[in-house]
Structure 1
Amino acid sequence: MIRWVWAFLDRPAARFDECVGFWSTITGTAPSERRGAEREFLTLLPDPALFAAAGIKMQAVTGLGGVHLDFDVEDIPSSVRYALDLGADLVANHPGYAVLRSPYGQLFCFTPAGPEKSHPAPALAGPDGALSRLDQVCLDIGAADYYDESRFWTTLTGWDQSEASLPEFSRLRPKEPQPVQFLLQRLGEDRPTTAHIDLACSDTAATAAWHQSLGATLVERRTHWIVMSDPAGAPYCLTSRDPHGH
């Protein structure tokens, strides 16, 4: 059983400090002390006054980076076996955690469950009062792989799947409070599954302007969302969903 889900932002080592500053600012968090053999990992910590649990981690990597998922579980070996039975591949077994790949290419990890978590962090008010919250990971799935890959994530998580407002999307919502839900997107091309971050916003235009002032780039305006890229060029979206999660 998945106890907690982490959105893990992998960013190029050369731009890592800049990205940490950007993501900590737009999520209202503070970076933890770095850890790991090369001090490559950190957690973005909510304000202690909120009594909220962290849900975002970052890693300095070689290459362009991206987004992966960490699942806190009670029993890593049995979780690995279950994922393998569903079609995942084992990438690496490290002391204390395992790295896997979904049937069509998305990396994720099983990590040990710690103390029971409290509620996720609430929405953050930007400089002009517009609210936003990082609350969703979008899995971008190749057209030919969509059915099998969607079934993999639905079964692995045990979350509730529902159709979204557009036919190329569906949602996976956790049964208990988690930092993020999943949006499954059927792409118009065939390629390995990847992931990007979505933020729910009360005012996408205002939030985009704030993010641009912090070093992000506006890529494309769509009807219900804005495509952005962070200071390292990683794509993410600002959506018009309710940042309160209703």
Structure 2
Amino acid sequence: MPPTWITAFLDFPTGSWENGVRFWRDVTASGLSPVRGADGEFATLLPATGEPFLRVQRTGADRPGIHLDLHGAEDHWEVRTSPGGFVFCVNVPAGGERPPPQAWPGRHTSLVDQVCLDIPPDAYDAECAYWADLTGWELAPTSAPYMRQLVRPAGMPLRILLQRRDEGSGPVTAHLDIATTDREAEVARHVALGAVVDGGGARWTRMLDPVGMVYCLTDRDPVTGLLP
């Protein structure tokens, strides 16, 4: 069954939980739900309007990371691992209205709208096939030969991009992408909140948040998710 909703979890080690949550609340202009879980390890980032699709988790890991929950793919909660070693969850159905982009001073907008799976070369084809089969979404090319995308259904909060690493092995990892109408202004806003620039290209800037989480700011349209 195709997912009805996708949630991205930002997983923070215990020592970086407060700073990580504070930064991502500021970046997305979100509220924070009450914590839940046996040890108060879960919370939800609450947008001003629309259904939440970003959550935070305190973990015992050494470094921050990302995982996904695919809602509606099954009628129960279950942890799974992709062929390339990416751990994610299938969960009960969920859904609602996708939150709109957030407007900032200077009138540019931005929105967390994509999860990029970073895949070792030898796992790339199998991983692309796996995610296309799991979601039921069309696997399509992009303007870059080392990237493919899954065509997101209308109303889904997150796109899935599959990026082939230049080299290396090990498990598939993931990072968030933020679409914005003014990347220069968005970079400056994030730096003022404590992030640092860590590289980039013609259409994107790689960032590190204050606790070392990698993410990217891109020139894609925050509404459509596509390049102008």
Return the letter of the residue paired with 1:111.
N
Query: Secondary structure, in 3 states, of the residue corresponding to 1:17?
Result: helix
1:23-172 matched pairs, under 5 angstroms: 23-47=24-48, 50=49, 52-62=50-60, 63-73=62-72, 75-76=74-75, 97-114=77-94, 117-172=95-150
- Maintained 8 Å contact 1:126/1:210: no
- Report the CA distance shift for 1:128/1:193 in structure 2 as closer, same or farther (over 3 A): same
Separation in structure 1 between the aligned mates of residue 82 and residue 168 of structure 2, nearest angstrom: 15
- Maintained 8 Å contact 2:11/2:56: yes
Residue by residue over 1:85-139, the C-alpha shift from the partner in whole angstroms, topping out at 9 and shown as x without a partner, is xxxxxxxxxxx6211110111111012224xx32211111223322110000000
Show structure 1 runs of 4+ deviating over 6 A: none
Query: Secondary structure, in 3 states, of the residue corresponding to 1:151?
Result: helix
Q: Does 1:205 align with 2:203?
A: no
Separation in structure 2 between the aligned mates of residue 11 and residue 125 of structure 1, nearest angstrom: 27
Return the letter of the residue paired with 1:221.
G
Higher relative helix content: 1
Separation in structure 1 between the aligned mates of residue 84 and residue 191 of structure 2, nearest angstrom: 33
- Maintained 8 Å contact 1:171/1:183: yes
After superposing the two structures, state which structure 1 stretch, 18-27 or 180-189, moved more: 18-27
Separation in structure 2 between the aligned mates of residue 172 and residue 154 of structure 1, nearest angstrom: 7
Return the letter of the residue paired with 1:127.
P
Return the letter of the residue paired with 1:137.
V
Query: Secondary structure, in 3 states, of the residue corresponding to 2:4?
Result: strand
Q: CA deviation at 1:175?
A: 2.4
Separation in structure 2 between the aligned mates of residue 23 and residue 34 of structure 1, nearest angstrom: 16
Show the counterpart of 2:16: 15
Return the letter of the residue paired with 1:33.
P
- Maintained 8 Å contact 1:43/1:56: yes
- Maintained 8 Å contact 1:160/1:175: no
Separation in structure 2 between the aligned mates of residue 230 and residue 4 of structure 1, nearest angstrom: 26
TM value normalised by structure 2: 0.93
- Maintained 8 Å contact 1:71/1:110: yes
Return the letter of the residue paired with 1:154.
A
Query: Unaligned 5+ residue runs, structure 1?
Result: 77-95
Identity of aligned residues (%): 38
Show the counterpart of 2:206: 227
- Maintained 8 Å contact 2:132/2:150: yes
Show the counterpart of 1:79: none
Separation in structure 1 between the aligned mates of residue 45 and residue 179 of structure 2, nearest angstrom: 18
Return the letter of the residue paired with 1:41.
F
Q: CA deviation at 1:74?
A: 6.5
- Maintained 8 Å contact 2:64/2:212: no
Separation in structure 2 between the aligned mates of residue 235 and residue 74 of structure 1, nearest angstrom: 27
After superposing the two structures, state which structure 1 stretch, 131-140 or 121-130, moved more: 121-130
Separation in structure 2 between the aligned mates of residue 75 and residue 223 of structure 1, nearest angstrom: 39
TM value normalised by structure 1: 0.86
Q: CA deviation at 1:25?
A: 1.6
